[in-house]
Amino acid sequence: MISIAIMGHGVVGSGVAEIFATHKKKLFAAIGEEIDVKYILDLREFPDSPFADRFTKDFSKIANDLEVRVVVETMGGLHPAYEYVKECLSSGKSVVTSNKELVAAYGAELLAIASEQNANFLFEASVGGGIPIIRPINQCLVANNVSEIAGILNGTTNFILTKMFHEGMGFDEALKMAQELGYAERNPEADVEGHDACRKICILASLTFGKHIYPEAVHTEGITKITAADVEYAGEWGGVIKLIGSVKKLGKDTIDIIVAPMFVPNLSQLANIDDVFNGIMVRGDCTGDVVFYGRGAGKLPTASAVVADVIDSIKHLKSRKYLFWSDSDNGSVLPYEESVRAMYVRGVADDKAAAYDNAKAVFGGVHQLSRKNAAENELAFITEPMALSEFEEKLAKVDGFKAESVIRIGDL
């Protein structure tokens, strides 16, 4: 019998407890031992829970119980999750978390403590919910040099963008619907401003390239400024708009990492990923493109990824999993103004034909887009790939044109 503790009885944490109850037999078969959820830490009362007798409000009970070998952290937020996880790892307990904020902020430090203590620190559920991604990158693709990862990493924004694209909703209307359906929080900022996707691409980048990339170092744009007009132009161009977290290896020590809405061509496997689903493309030198698709959030998908990590921790109580990255000063991150991409521009022209001629003269190759019911002075075009700084310089030189929307073209 192996004893574990679960810290946090919210959506994911209660799902973890539920799976240990409902999938007892399958989990027993996987490791040949019974798993006992000995403690559940939460400040709230759950008198009607089938686990009522396991609840405690006292973290020290868990920390000081030598029988507890694996601790699940599903509290969310940075504090006290960080302090609790650190204490557990420091005393040699393995920790499994679904907390992307924690991993993105303190991953390197916590992995180093785990390594010293020969314990495991696993976080499959922190990216892509129930989609296997951390373990496949770390194990299955180990014989690849990964050059790029790009993904739809946030279900809330993908739902909103899907409604805007397929049902012609505006951003506000689609957000309201997402909130009503429970896909978006009342304060939707972490989702719609891209912070959630940013934490996830940071975790994937850190894992893949071996150095911690902190969210503060990553240029992050949300989807609040996307309009129905942009969505229509994307369709005319032959694609859709998706919020993409992307990281590319440029040279030995440089990575180009960004979170931003992008035009995604219909032929890309990411273009067809709709609603609250997530999809992550990993480009390896041996495998080529591999794509992982599924529910990136939700109680049971996320909880099942947590439970899988618990099982893996138990299998490796003595022999630690090789999951590691070192700390860094973010020095490898390319300044975002130097990142090279083709750009979509929509704006208002004094004289449309003249402004387009100006754009052609300034940018060289540009490709005009059209849409039905556009105002007469609306002009939209796509540029060739160039550094953002060069693009912005040139855009300012296009006489008689005021840009209202600029969106990157993803090479996905």
**CA angle at residue 83 from 299 to 91, to 5 degrees?**
100
Locate 323 and state its tokens. Answer: 């999951």
Locate 295 and state its tokens. Answer: 């529910």
* Listed residue (117, 63, 61, 67) closest to 90, CA to CA: 117
* Listed residue (204, 209, 191, 104) closest to 151, CA to CA: 204
Name the active-site residue from 100, 163, 200, 352. Answer: 200
Q: How far is the CB of 346 from a copy of itself (least distance, A)?
A: 28
Residue 285 CA: distances (Å) to CA of 150, 288, 393: 15, 6, 35
Q: How far is the CB of 74 from a copy of itself (least distance, A)?
A: 14
* Listed residue (309, 258, 274, 133) closest to 204, CA to CA: 133
Q: Strand locations in 288-394, DSSP E?
A: 288-295, 340-341, 343-349, 366-369, 378-383, 386-387
CB 68 within 8 A of CB 95: no
Q: Which is nearer to a copy of itself, 222 or 284 (CB)?
A: 284
Q: Which is nearer to a copy of itself, 235 or 294 (CB)?
A: 294
Q: How far is the CB of 319 from a copy of itself (least distance, A)?
A: 6
Question: Cα(111)–Cα(390) distance, rounded to whole angstroms?
Answer: 39
Q: Which is nearer to a copy of itself, 295 or 371 (CB)?
A: 295
Q: How far is the CB of 318 from a copy of itself (least distance, A)?
A: 7
Residue 104 neighbours by CB under 8 Å, 6+ apart: 198, 199, 200, 202, 203, 214, 215
Q: Which is nearer to a copy of itself, 21 or 361 (CB)?
A: 21
Proportion of the chain in helix, strand, coil states, percent, rounded to 5: 40, 25, 35
For residue 279, the surrounding DSSP H or E stretch is strand 277-284
For residue 87, the surrounding DSSP H or E stretch is helix 81-90
Q: Which is nearer to a copy of itself, 30 or 78 (CB)?
A: 30
Q: How far is the CB of 162 from a copy of itself (least distance, A)?
A: 12
User: For the chain, what is the radius of gyration of the CA atoms?
Assistant: 23
Q: Which residue has the tokens 């040279």?
A: 251
Which three-class secondary structure state does DSSP give residue 142? Answer: coil
Q: Which is nearer to a copy of itself, 222 or 279 (CB)?
A: 279
Q: Which is nearer to a copy of itself, 28 or 52 (CB)?
A: 28
Q: How far is the CB of 40 from a copy of itself (least distance, A)?
A: 17
CB 124 within 8 A of CB 260: no
Per CB under 8 A, residues contacting a copy of itself are 19, 23, 26-27, 29-31, 124, 130-132, 135-136, 139-145, 210, 269, 272, 284-295, 298, 300-301, 303-305, 307-308, 311-312, 315-316, 318-319, 322
Q: How far is the CB of 337 from a copy of itself (least distance, A)?
A: 31
Q: Catalytic residue at 200?
A: yes
> So which residues are the catalytic ones?
200
